[in-house]
Every structure is written in structure tokens, then in C-alpha cells.
Amino acid sequence: MSNMPRVGETAPDFEATDDKGSTVKLSALKGSPVVLYFYPKDDTPGCTTEACSFRDAHEEFEKKGIKVMGVSVDSEKSHTKFRDKYNLNFTLVSDKSKDIAAKYGVLSDRGVASRVTFIIDRKGKVAHVYEKVTPKDHSSEVMNKIVELKLA
């Protein structure tokens, strides 16, 4: 995957709509660590497993002031259904234009986002990139890395 931001680089900013119809701007979250995870499609087995792992760990992320955002090319409506079906308690960002996935170098040949996670530090810099993600244990893997990097 080309043009993927590397550790130490500024995470590309974006503005998009979330599952609640609100505008989300990455640069507005400076001051908080952000877990930006890209996934292929709402309500598919791997993506649901990954989303539910972040849902179940949400309290721990929130206590440490960490924002979690899932990004796919699905519509806001699809995100809302996905959120409601699984009681997801973090932001789902709609990237219908595929601009965000392209900026992060994670747009697959199939035109969906690949399963890649970026940990972004308080200053808006990429602190870690997971190019290979196992959905089941991903949220604890991410939390351990955030602790190890002393980001929260």
C-alpha cells in the first residue's frame, strides 16, 4: 500500500460525516490520542468482530482520553444501522468519496478500505501503524501499544 503515512509523520487531516450525521474533523481532536481504524464493510464477520472488540474496550479507552474512530466507505445510513445493531459506542466515519482511505494509502483494489489501524498521538502525528490486523484481539493489542508508547 503506497503513500501510507509513516510513524512520525503528521496524520492527514480530513473532514467527514459520522454515524450521527455530525461533521468530524481529525485536526479538531488534537490533544487526544486517536485510534483511526479502517475496515472494509459494515456488518460483515471480521468487521463486526473488530468493532465489537473496540465497543467492549470503550470504557478503558475513554478513561485514558483516547478517541476511537472506525472508517469505511459505507454510507452514514449503513453506519447508523451497524451502530444500532451492535450497540457501538464510538464514532463511525463515512468515507463514501473514498478520499480518506486514499489519503491514508489504504484503498484496496476492490474499492474498499483495507483493514489497517493508525495510532495518532496528541500532536496529530502517526505513532504506530498496524498493517496486519487480527480483528478478535485488536482493541487490546492497540491499548497495549498505546500504554507501551506512553501516549495515554
Q: 11: which DSSP letter? A: P
Whether the CB-CB separation of 27 and 124 falls below 8 Å is answered with yes
Cα–Cα dist 25/148, whole Å: 27
One-letter amino acid for residue 6 of the chain: R
Catalytic residue among 47, 71, 92, 142: 47
Lookup: cell for 111: 474499492
Is residue 52 annotated as part of the catalytic site, yes or no? no
Cα–Cα dist 77/53, whole Å: 22
Instruction: Using the Cα atoms of residue 3, residue 139, residue 63 and residue 150 in order, give the sign of their dihedral.
Output: negative
Active site amino acids? 47
